[in-house]
């Protein structure tokens, strides 16, 4: 599954700080520019964590409302603005999951190309569903680490800040998450391969 790169450049980080200062002064155009830059990223992240695009939309709205309300007080403190944004989004997702009191599978991700056969698309959908189910069975912190580092391609140092852990602890979460996911998928191997040779 090929996903677009989600990591902001250093130039974006500098520009983010300028936009946040303007938002803190009440500049709605700056807020619109920041929303344009990050809305799809935050929505995709929340959809993967929550498994529900509608809930992800509400989380994204909450995140950007917080940006508007707190921009005047935001200080970099050594972290990128995008890192803080992911932290806010992750906390909003955790709150929503706590309210649900159950974990839901992650979003499917990219749709299949229309040139592919219906059989291939059915097989791909089946594999995607099993991967989502396997991801949803992982402990919450392991799943979050995998989503941040693999689906959103955050550098480990940034993902560690988002999760509030050390880089070593993040690497441990990733290793355990990968092992758990691999084991769950191996247990499903007959279903994943279906009738393929």
**70-99 pLDDT, tens per residue?**
888 887 777 788 888 999 999 998 888 877
Measured distance CA(179)–CA(161) in Å, rounded: 23
Structural domain includes residue 94: yes
One domain for residues 54 and 125: no
Measured distance CA(11)–CA(7) in Å, rounded: 12
Q: Which residues contact 159 (CB under 8 A, 6 or more apart)?
A: 145, 148, 149, 170
Measured distance CA(8)–CA(140) in Å, rounded: 25
One domain for residues 42 and 95: yes
One domain for residues 58 and 126: no
CATH classification at residue 181? 1.10.10.10
Measured distance CA(173)–CA(165) in Å, rounded: 10
Last residue of a domain, one of 75, 104, 133: 104
Measured distance CA(49)–CA(56) in Å, rounded: 9
Following CA atoms 63, 45, 22, 32 in sequence, which dihedral angle do they give, to the nearest 10 degrees? -90
Structural domain includes residue 4: no
One domain for residues 99 and 127: no
Structural domain includes residue 109: no
* pLDDT above 90 (res 166): yes
Residues spanned by the domain of 152: 118-197
CATH classification at residue 85? 1.10.1740.10
Structural domain includes residue 174: yes
Structural domain includes residue 113: no
Quickly count: other Cβ atoms within 10 Å of residue 98's Cβ.
8
Last residue of a domain, one of 74, 104, 134: 104
Measured distance CA(69)–CA(194) in Å, rounded: 51
One domain for residues 142 and 69: no
One domain for residues 95 and 146: no
Top-ranked range on mean pLDDT: pick from 157-161, 166-170, 185-189: 166-170
Measured distance CA(41)–CA(79) in Å, rounded: 18
Domain count, the chain: 2
Structure-token match 């990733």, residue found: 174
Top-ranked range on mean pLDDT: pick from 21-25, 45-49, 147-151: 21-25
Confidence of residue 104 (pLDDT cuts 50, 70, 90): very low
Confidence of residue 29 (pLDDT cuts 50, 70, 90): very high
Measured distance CA(60)–CA(141) in Å, rounded: 20
Which pLDDT value is given to residue 129? Answer: 73
Q: Which comes out higher in pLDDT, residue 26 or 109? A: 26
pLDDT tens track for 13-26: 668 889 999 999 99
Q: Which residues contact 154 (CB under 8 A, 6 or more apart)?
A: 6, 7, 83, 86, 148, 162
DSSP state, 72? G
Which pLDDT value is given to residue 118? Answer: 66
Structural domain includes residue 136: yes
Q: pTM of the full predicted structure?
A: 0.60
Which pLDDT value is given to residue 120? Answer: 63
3-state helix, strand, coil in the chain (%, to 5): 75, 0, 25
What would the two tokens of residue 138 be?
A: 């992982």
Q: What is the mean pLDDT of residues 146-168?
A: 87
Last residue of a domain, one of 40, 71, 104: 104
């Amino acid at each position: 599954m090929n996903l677009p790169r989600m990591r902001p450049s250093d130039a974006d980080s500098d520009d983010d700080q300028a936009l946040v200062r303007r938002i803190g002064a009440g500049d709605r155009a700056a807020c619109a520019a920041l929303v344009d830059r990050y809305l799809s990223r935050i929505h995709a992240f929340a959809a993967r964590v929550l498994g529900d695009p509608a809930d992800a939309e509400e989380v994204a709205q909450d995140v950007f409302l917080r940006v508007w309300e707190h921009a005047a007080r935001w200080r970099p403190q050594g972290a990128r603005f995008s890192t803080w944004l992911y932290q806010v989004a992750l906390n909003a997702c955790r709150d929503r999951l706590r309210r649900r009191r159950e974990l839901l599978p992650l979003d499917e991700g990219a749709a299949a190309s229309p040139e592919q056969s219906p059989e291939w698309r059915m097989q791909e959908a089946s594999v995607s569903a099993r991967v989502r189910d396997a991801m949803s069975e992982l402990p919450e912190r392991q799943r979050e680490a995998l989503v941040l580092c693999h689906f959103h391609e955050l550098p480990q140092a940034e993902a560690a800040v988002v999760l509030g852990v050390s880089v070593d602890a993040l690497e441990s979460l990733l290793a355990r998450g990968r092992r758990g996911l691999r084991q769950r998928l191996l247990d499903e191997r007959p279903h994943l391969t279906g009738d393929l040779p």
